[in-house]
Amino acid sequence: MTAIEATGLRYAYPDGTLAVDGVDVTIDAGERVALLGPNGAGKSTLLQLLGGLVEPDAGTVRYFGETTDADSVRERLSVLTQDPAEYLFNPTVREDLAYGPAQQDVSRTEVERRVEGLADRLDLDGLLSKPPFRLSGGEQRRAALASALTVEPDALLLDEPVSNVDAGNRAAILSLLDELSAAGVPASEASGGSSERRSDGVTLVTSTPETELVPHVADRVILLDSAGEVVARGSTREILTDVDLLTDCDLRPPQVVRLFEGREDVPLTVAEARTRLDG
Ligand SMILES: Nc1ncnc2c1ncn2[C@@H]1O[C@H](COP(=O)(O)OP(=O)(O)OP(=O)(O)O)[C@@H](O)[C@H]1O
């Protein structure tokens, strides 16, 4: 099944800046895709168009093969922009995390279970009773991510999910995303709950200018250049090992790729490199 199918997307900001021009994107259910490109390439704009937060000037986006009305699938689609304040508007972090599922037909006990489970996974336990505007920038990002996950979406669109997040929390976020996409296990179940298991993993679309992040969140890459054109599509391996292509797009290839450049089976991550060196 197709999770998101976009054709001919075009969007110009009111000042005339053409951010996305004629982009087609098809993302299958359960896929992990990265929108990779330098600053200003149009990744955030494209992500917001795909998530139905912004109306395109031209083109359409179809969700789950069913509808072009993003609002009718809001329960299945979570979009996390770069601005945590868009998700944190209640008096406390706990209420922010509970807000999404509370709008749906989810029991109070289940809402509470999801909130506690995600707070535990994302190191927010001690912050639940705080007003969100009193959190640090990195804490706000984690709280916003948690609030996007408490609805247990089928598709998750994330704009630079680990920017401004420290190493420990980055690892926690990546491991949570890995579980969600790999097995489709809702986060609350991962922390000991009992909700139903999805047959597919969560569809994950991540926008980032960071090549090092891509192997952790995507199996496929849509590469944009600084002019906002889609210049390549391919597997994470194909794109990340093409050093010239990345450099032409003003992106830095992963350090480990540079280190092993020209050899067979270039590792994409330090963990892969270590396995190779040990093996
Ligand atoms: N509100 C706005 N008004 C006018 N132009 C904008 C606005 N927001 C973004 N742009 C422009 O649209 C283009 C695409 O911006 P976008 O934020 O989508 O890029 P990006 O690839 O996400 O960049 P970054 O990696 O820096 O987040 C850029 O040229 C940017 O200057």
Pick the residue whose CA is nearest to atom 2 on ligand 1.
13
Pick the residue whose CA is nearest to atom 30 on ligand 1.
40
pLDDT, one tens digit per residue, over 227-244 is 888 999 999 999 999 999
HSE value, Cβ hemisphere, 13 Å, CA-based, for 103:
13
Q: How far apart are CA 279 and CA 273, in angstroms?
A: 10
- Is ligand 1 within 6 A of the CB of residue 47? no
- Is ligand 1 within 6 A of the CB of residue 247? no
| Rounded distance from Cα 86 to ligand 1 centre (Å) | 18
Q: How far apart are CA 1 and CA 279, in angstroms?
A: 38
pLDDT confidence of residue 183 = 54
- Is ligand 1 within 6 A of the CB of residue 16? no
Pick the residue whose CA is nearest to atom 14 on ligand 1.
42
Structure tokens at 277: 């060196």
pLDDT confidence of residue 251 = 96
More confident residue, 34 or 103: 34
pLDDT, one tens digit per residue, over 148-167 is 999 999 999 999 999 888 99
Q: Tell me the mean pLDDT in the region 174-184.
A: 82
Its pTM stands at 0.91
| Rounded distance from Cα 198 to ligand 1 centre (Å) | 35
Q: Angle of helix 137-149 relative to helix 93-103, nearest 10 degrees?
A: 20
Q: What is the ipTM of this complex?
A: 0.98
pLDDT confidence of residue 220 = 97
Average pLDDT, rounded, for the chain: 90
